[in-house]
Structure 1
Amino acid sequence: MDGSSMLKNQSFESSKVIAVTCISSIYANNFVVMGSLVGEKDGIIRSVSDTPPTHYQVIIQSFSLLSENAEKYESAEFEAGGYKWKLVLHPNGNKSKNVEDHISLYLAMADATSLPPGWEVSAVFRLFLLDQNQDNYLIVQDSQRKQRQFRRLTPEWGFDQFIPITVFIDSSNGYLVDDTYLASLTPPPKIYADYSLVLSNELWTSASYKENHWFSASSRGSGSANFIPLRFCLEPAYKYLVKDCLFFRAAVTIRGIASTL
């Protein structure tokens, strides 16, 4: 059976921007049901929240057929931060990494080969799994909230051991009900920051540039194309160049973090 016939893909986007808040609503009964699943282990945090994801979801029907007939499934493409992405699912674990007894789930760039050589996209993301019994979500994310660098040679990041298969297929846990489940994603956030760039010299005077900017996956950099004339940097009288070195300083103040609904 064609895997695409068992899947429904939905994308949620609008121009509304909200502040990201911390996830705090942990359901006590889920600690009993899932045992040690909720918490931090091996660099991964699993928590539970009734706050739904904001950007993209994949509904998989007839999961048993998918697991019997496919080692990997890739979702339809969706857009976040100005780039094309997809979810990559290994229903029986990622065999290329010798994963057993767990479902593997990853976020992948859909057009990584189109990136110029040396270019990368940094993203922080979370993956969600709906508990259909409790109407809340298992959230899986890196414990350090690290930015992951998506490149041509490393186009996907995620979790080799997203969830144990035994936990997932137990209908009492609510993840797989009537052979159907739903996986979701929150997009990389946008960060609003004030920053200043300073070129120092030995005379305690300096060239400086101040600005504010919304940083995101599609707008990772900001600055001045005409920060200082090159001849000033090279002129000995200004003492910017010392022992063939220039000394730059940067100060950054984060004013807000937001995600798009």
Structure 2
Amino acid sequence: MKLECGFDQFIPLKTLNDARSGYLVDDTCVLGVEVSITWETSTGQGENLLMIKDAISQKHVWKVDNFSKLDKEFYDSKVFIAGNQKWKIRLYPDGWGSGLGSFVSLFLVSANEDPRTKVFAGYALRVKDQLQGNNDVGNAKYWFNTSGQERGWARFTSHADFRNPNKGYLVKDTCVLEAEVTVHGVVNDL
């Protein structure tokens, strides 16, 4: 349970000190609070929401060697931590869904074990340009609510662009993928 709640910037100091505003009279102000208590009618249905005010972006880079020899439907990066949550990058070398056969598909995957945890995250997935730094990037925000849930793009980069030597995405049969994840909120069931 949250034991305290409030605002870190309730009223501008300039407004508070302005005598015309009526908040400060004879160097005195009156503060108050109104508390309402409601009782839950069904037990076990509560959630605890934690919003992260100054969320920090964290990056994970995955170097994929011998791309031409990849023969599985998809590959996952090792698990990495961003915003105290577990994530993976998922790569479909020959595409998935609407991208099957002509695109590289790229997704961010929740790797959290607790099915009661929901995570609101902003993320960017990138195929890095290893020559000029002109990365192919996709950005999104999403509520991840189960382990293994993936969000991203079935048509991230076309095979033609991906294999074009001037684009720099595939150099010496190696590509570099990056996920940048910012966790903005976490919900846990009570």
User: Which of 56, 60, 75 is equivalent to 1:56?
Assistant: 60
Q: CA deviation at 1:99?
A: 2.6
Aligned residues: 134
Structure 2 distance, partners of 1:79, 1:153, is: 14
Runs ≥4 in structure 1, deviation > 3 angstroms? none
**What is the SS of the residue equivalent to 2:69?**
helix
CA RMSD of aligned residues (A): 2.5
- Cα deviations by residue, 1:137-167 (Å, 9 ceiling, x for unpaired): 222124xxxx311112771111111110111
Structure 2 distance, partners of 1:54, 1:180, is: 23
* 2:107 is equivalent to residue 106 of structure 1: yes
Structure 1 distance, partners of 2:114, 2:59, is: 23
Structure 2 distance, partners of 1:54, 1:133, is: 23
Identity within the alignment, %: 28
Q: Highest relative contact order (Cα 8 Å, sep 6+), 1 or 2?
A: 2
Structure 2 distance, partners of 1:135, 1:60, is: 17
Q: Decide which structure has greater helix share.
A: 1
Is the CA contact 1:72–1:91 (under 8 Å) kept in the aligned structure 2? yes
- Cα deviations by residue, 1:179-237 (Å, 9 ceiling, x for unpaired): 01101011115xxxxxxxxxxxxxxxxxxxxxxxxxx345x69xxxxxxxxxxxxxxxx
Is the CA contact 2:58–2:83 (under 8 Å) kept in the aligned structure 1? no
- Cα deviations by residue, 1:8-32 (Å, 9 ceiling, x for unpaired): xxxxxxxxxx999xxxxxxxxxxxx
With normalisation by structure 2, the TM-score equals 0.63
Structure 2 distance, partners of 1:75, 1:154, is: 13
Is the CA contact 1:62–1:179 (under 8 Å) kept in the aligned structure 2? yes
Which amino acid is 2:99 matched to? Answer: V
Q: CA deviation at 1:54?
A: 5.1
User: Which of 159, 165, 182 is equivalent to 2:153?
Assistant: 159
The residue number in structure 2 matching 1:134 is 132
Structure 2 distance, partners of 1:171, 1:88, is: 23
Structure 1 distance, partners of 2:164, 2:131, is: 12
With normalisation by structure 1, the TM-score equals 0.47
Q: Judging changes above 3 Å, is the alpha-carbon distance between structure 1 residues 108 and 19 closer, same or farther for their aligned structure 2 residues?
A: closer
**What is the SS of the residue equivalent to 1:134?**
coil
Is the CA contact 1:89–1:103 (under 8 Å) kept in the aligned structure 2? yes
